[in-house]
Amino acid sequence: MSANGPSLLRTVAVKTISTRPFEDQRPGTSGLRKKVSEFQVPHYLENFVQSIFNSLEGFRDATLVLGGDGRFHNREAIQSILKIGAANGVGRVLLGRGGILSTPAVSCLIRKYSAFGGIILSASHNPGGPEGDFGVKFNVSNGGPAPESVTEAIYAQSRNIRSYRIFDAADVDIDQLGCMHLDRMAIEVINPVADYAGLMEKLFDFDAISELFASGSFRMRYDAMHAVTGPYAHEILERRLGAPAETVVNGEPLLDFGGKSPDPNLVYAHDLVAAMSGREAPDFGAASDGDGDRNMILGRRFFVTPSDSLAVLAANARFVSGYSEGLSGVARSMPTSRAVDRVAAHLHIPHYETPTGWKYFGNLLDAGKITLCGEESFGTGSDHVREKDGLWAVLFWLNILSARRSSVEQLTRAHWREYGRHYYSRHDYEGLDKEVAERVIADLQESIAALKGQRIGTHEVTLSDDFSYLDPVDRSLTEHQGLRIVCSDEARIVYRLSGTGTEGATLRIYLERYERDPSRQDLDCQAALADLAAAARQIARIEEKTGRRRPSLIT
């Protein structure tokens, strides 16, 4: 990659700073996430970043991608990481202008420029601002999240660290495109959108989507939630595809995301939901989260669950230029509904069920076993990068709509008629005392096997276990990935603890019921799942153990 601008050689000195370990730096499924105030503790960020370098080999004189979602503390963290990277011998850093890079854009850059990895500064859909959350995640050379072997090595280093190396130098100007140097390390400040947008143009028929907007009969609303995808959506949707200027709302990334949680679901994206429910609602609505890897899809007065969205994309991939030659396979996380499994069976392609966490799709993608994959938590992706990708999913939908000339609702209902409807919902109990939440799961682990053969209301249990996953590529075994109850009529209950929060614990209950009869596919989703929800609460003794009579969040 080349960049315009002067090359600035700075006079610098490496300092070795004595430090002590922090005991709470074990990365979760999406890196290390804590409150901003914890990352502001002296040495906390520096310890973790140095631990990343201490755990790796082969990065000297190599390329590192760096950027984040623009949340509070993003810019300060970037300055520290640049100085630590230079002191540890990194050869080049590709840095998004202003410190901005979406998570899928980081994956795109790692893969395109053969970087040894990337550091992403984000806490995804968690709130931002001085009182909010912050996060650091390392992605490896395939562009995907670091596997457990790497994150455990980072954690081991963090528990034994005694010093870190950092350059004593002035801060770098990260707002001007161009190349500069921090000692021998080149820093290229790049347009954060250009490479990603170029990849999207190769995957989708931009001419057909442009014609859809030019017709005048199609209107769209995209809510960037004052998060990272604003610049990407303005460039791709409005400038390259010709959508009207008012299509993208909340398109300026803000330090605190406008005081709201940048989480694209029916609760936190309520302004978009209201706009799509009004008398003058647009035809298509979408939103993405803090770092740009999640998506929510809406039609006019119609919500598409993430599980259904994955299935609809797989069933209609033949209409999309970048996927028209067929899919090698599909994968979903275990808690995600089995709607895509039916599509795979119809297409005679393999389908895989993995633990929650995008890193588990990486081996399948790298081995060419799958093309599309997704999770119920509003994440969808493909083999174009090694992250879920919110704006990619929106463009996939737009490409299908331009080819099928159907509304979102018509397309989804036609899908149900062909494959059946999977009524599906997630009930979250947020902010639980961690010990209480862990006790709920521990008690279920002891009792769940005994449920097999019993009846839950009208449902007969045919499988009840603690899900484990044997990776078909490297044969690694991952255990204790969620408790599942499967019934003979294809109803399911799944329990697991979330790994993405920073306060307390979140217990998640996933409910699924299959309906093949088209005359019964128009029920209210929560009403259709009411008996399963009641059974799930009773089996886990939710109210007795947590004091909660109802979930904090239903999606």
- Same domain? For 68 and 104 the reply is yes
Amino acid at 391: L
**pLDDT number for residue 501:** 57
What DSSP designation does 161 have? -
For residues 16-24, give the mean pLDDT. Answer: 97
Q: Residue 72: inside a domain, yes or no?
A: yes
- Same domain? For 93 and 111 the reply is yes
What span, in angstroms and rounded, lies between the C-alpha atoms of 426 and 406? 28
**pLDDT number for residue 14:** 95
Q: Residue 6: inside a domain, yes or no?
A: no
List beta partners, residue 497: 507
Amino acid at 13: A
- Same domain? For 373 and 246 the reply is yes
The total of structural domains in the chain comes to 3
Last residue of a domain, one of 392, 419, 446: 419
Output the 3-class SS for 394-459: HHHHHHHHHHHCCCHHHHHHHHHHHHCEEEEEEEEEEEECHHHHHHHHHHHHHHHHHHCCCEECCE
Q: How confident is the model at residue 555 (pLDDT cuts 50, 70, 90)?
A: confident
Q: Residue 105: inside a domain, yes or no?
A: yes
| Tokens at 50, concatenated | 């140095």
- Same domain? For 466 and 323 the reply is no
Q: How confident is the model at residue 28 (pLDDT cuts 50, 70, 90)?
A: confident
**Which tens digit of pLDDT belongs to each residue from 37-55?**
999 999 999 999 999 999 9
Contact 121, 309 (CB under 8 A): no
Q: Residue 8: inside a domain, yes or no?
A: no
Contact 73, 40 (CB under 8 A): yes
Q: Residue 378: inside a domain, yes or no?
A: yes
CB count in 10 Å sphere of residue 246: 10
Give the chain's mean pLDDT: 95
Contact 367, 378 (CB under 8 A): no
CATH, residue 52: 3.40.120.10
**Is residue 4 classed exposed, middle or buried when 0-12, 13-18 and 19+ CB atoms within 10 A define those classes?**
exposed
| Tokens at 57, concatenated | 């080999």
| Tokens at 348, concatenated | 């005679």
What span, in angstroms and rounded, lies between the C-alpha atoms of 164 and 301? 54
**pLDDT number for residue 7:** 46
For residues 104-121, give the mean pLDDT. Answer: 98
Last residue of a domain, one of 365, 386, 419: 419
Spatial CB neighbours of 465, under 8 Å, sequence gap ≥ 6: 448, 449, 483, 484
- Nearest CA to 267 among 234, 225, 299? 225
- Same domain? For 510 and 412 the reply is no
- Same domain? For 329 and 459 the reply is no
What end-to-end distance do the CA atoms of the chain give, in Å? 42
Q: What's the residue count for the chain?
A: 555
**Which tens digit of pLDDT belongs to each residue from 298-319?**
999 999 999 999 999 999 999 9
- Same domain? For 121 and 257 the reply is no
**pLDDT number for residue 6:** 44
Sign of CA dihedral 333, 334, 340, 343: positive
Residue 1 has pLDDT above 70, yes or no: no
SS3 241: coil
- Same domain? For 394 and 480 the reply is no
- Same domain? For 363 and 474 the reply is no
**Which tens digit of pLDDT belongs to each residue from 122-142?**
999 999 999 999 999 999 999
Q: Residue 3: inside a domain, yes or no?
A: no
Percent of the chain at pLDDT > 70 equals 97
Q: How confident is the model at residue 500 (pLDDT cuts 50, 70, 90)?
A: low
What span, in angstroms and rounded, lies between the C-alpha atoms of 21 and 43? 9
**pLDDT number for residue 498:** 85
- Same domain? For 182 and 213 the reply is no
Q: Residue 23: inside a domain, yes or no?
A: yes
Domain span at residue 482 reads 421-554
For residues 91-95, give the mean pLDDT. Answer: 98
Q: Residue 1: inside a domain, yes or no?
A: no
- Same domain? For 32 and 167 the reply is yes
| Residues catalogued as catalytic | 124
Q: How confident is the model at residue 502 (pLDDT cuts 50, 70, 90)?
A: low
| Tokens at 291, concatenated | 């770092």
Q: How confident is the model at residue 9 (pLDDT cuts 50, 70, 90)?
A: very low
Q: How confident is the model at residue 499 (pLDDT cuts 50, 70, 90)?
A: low
- Same domain? For 203 and 182 the reply is no
- Nearest CA to 424 among 341, 515, 351, 345? 515
| Tokens at 440, concatenated | 């709920």
Residue 358 has pLDDT above 60, yes or no: yes
**Region of residue 285 (left: phi > 0; alpha: psi -120 to 50; beta: else):** beta
**Is residue 362 classed exposed, middle or buried when 0-12, 13-18 and 19+ CB atoms within 10 A define those classes?**
buried
CATH, residue 462: 3.30.310.50
**Which tens digit of pLDDT belongs to each residue from 191-218?**
999 999 999 999 999 999 999 999 999 9
SS3 172: coil
Last residue of a domain, one of 419, 440, 470: 419
For residues 354-367, give the mean pLDDT. Answer: 94
The answer to whether the predicted template modeling score (pTM) of the entire model surpasses 0.85 is yes
